[in-house]
Amino acid sequence: MSNSHDDSMLNPPTSVIEQDFSVERIDIFLDNPSKYFNFSLTQMMGLSRTHLDSLHIAGLKRRFDQFRGTLPMLDKLANSEEISAINQLDDVLPLLFGHEVYKSYPASFLENGQYSQLTAWLNKLTTIDLSKIDVSSCRSIDDWLTTLSRESPMVVVHTSGTSGTLSFLPSTKSDWSRYIEQFAVLYFQRFGQSEPGPKVPLNIDCIYPFFRYGALSHIAINQAASDAVAGDESRFHTAYPGRLSADLLLLAAKRRAAKAKGLPDVEISPELAARRDEFDAQQRDMPNHIANFFDTLRTKLAGKQVFLVSASNMLHSLAVDGLKQGMKRIFSPNSVIATGGGGKGSVLPEDWQETIKAFFGAENLFVVFGMTEMLGQFITCEHGHYHAVPWIIPFILDADTNQPLPRQGTATGRFAFYDLLADTRWGGFISGDQVTLDWDSACPCGRTTPFIVGKIQRLSEVRADIGEEKINCAAAPDDYAKALDFVSESVV
């Protein structure tokens, strides 16, 4: 497989998907888009605009009917907006959640360790019943997250922090599994080929250059990636075997907020102080873990086809370190890299993609646009356009009024979406990103879904009157390292 241009891709085979929008067919689409598209990337990304619009409205109606009466937060919003049905796509706009919804719990819940109350708050955002889960013995965010994961189908994910707090998004193990299962079509097929691609598990070595466990979204997918891509834990390779602590990330967020406001540095809580030995050991063992990780890359995995999915700043840092050690093109050219998240709020050199390719040797590097709240992504084609996957319904809103811009031509504004793959939480979200979306143009690559062109930016970067609404995941590694240092230096 290659991501280079080929004229044969300009006229892909005609889609043979039956345009049947019955409940049975729509349920297949909502449960496993790859199955609906006959496990064909060409059919998935080459369907007509009419077919795509019909899928979107049928899927949205199905999700609204599914969640109405079962999701308290949606019911409250729908009642206040007097919305009882979805008849067209724009009808859902008043029901899209803003970033504040997932951090709308009182700050005292975390400050005072009120995890039972935090669970009750989260229960309003998911159809999974959390009311019978006992979290009374939890003494940290990490305890709370691992308890919910152990005692329920939940995998609660969090952001790296903004304004001194964390956002918590209710997702499930099934969500992540169904999402990662789409990777076989999205990343291991070539658009324009007529035959279906590989099925999961792919049994390909998978590399993630950070922690094995944790609840940041790009860590939370690790187990699903181990199952669907690696096929076996022995083929899943991480830089650090332990867990990234949400408690330390919250500490980092509080310190960042205090510094921004010119306030004194925060104090270490007794709960964190009691875990000093744990954090000291994690910090002490990091050099050995990263050395063993590089040794695995250069020996056990040398010349193999691998799959890497990680934030671009993390991959770039790994590549720079590897090149300094004289390591070049260590994997098979048919290896696949999916990366993103490092371009907003962080600065990478212009040649960052070339550096990553020079180290890893992979010809297939896909830059993606996504976020914690989305079980999907926009994926770049060989012409640099970010194409939407068909289960994500995009909207472009006026940044001042949040009114929808026309779904035709080219529009620049605030990005919003509905994620049809989410089946235990409401998939509608309004982001803090400004994008330019092309609804109608024919991309030379042959894909027909709407695509993002140009630079993706935080609205806060281009509008002084709009504050920062979200900290992107690229900040997590540096913030975490600083928090480890702070705990080790401050606790006596």
Q: What percent of the chain has pLDDT over 90?
A: 74
Contact 448, 116 (CB under 8 A): no
Beta strands in 347-463 (DSSP E): 364-369, 378-380, 386-388, 392-397, 410-419, 428-438, 451-458
Q: Given this model, what pLDDT does residue 218 score?
A: 86
CA distance 99 to 164: 14
- What is the number of residues in the chain? 492
Helix (H) or strand (E) holding 98: none
Q: Given this model, what pLDDT does residue 346 score?
A: 59
pLDDT band at 487 (very low <50, low <70, confident <90, very high): low
List the chain domain ranges.
Answer: 21-95+385-469
Query: What is the average pLDDT across 431-435?
Result: 93
User: Got the DSSP string for 41-96?
Assistant: HHHHHS--HHHHHHHHHHHHHHHHHHHTTT-HHHHHHHHHHT-----SGGGGGGGP
Contacts of residue 181, defined as CB under 8 A and 6 or more positions apart, other chains included, come to 32, 34, 200, 228
Does 283 have pLDDT greater than 60?
Answer: yes
Q: Given this model, what pLDDT does residue 99 score?
A: 84
Q: Given this model, what pLDDT does residue 266 score?
A: 86
CA distance 291 to 288: 5
CA distance 126 to 82: 21
Does 281 have pLDDT greater than 50?
Answer: yes
Mean pLDDT of the chain: 89
Which tens digit of pLDDT belongs to each residue from 362-409? 999 999 999 989 999 999 999 999 999 999 999 999 999 999 999 999
Strands 168-169 vs 157-158: parallel, antiparallel or unpaired: antiparallel
CA distance 411 to 250: 36
Which tens digit of pLDDT belongs to each residue from 4-31? 333 333 344 444 566 788 899 999 999 9
pLDDT band at 463 (very low <50, low <70, confident <90, very high): confident
Contact 313, 338 (CB under 8 A): no
CA distance 146 to 158: 13
Does 255 have pLDDT greater than 80?
Answer: yes
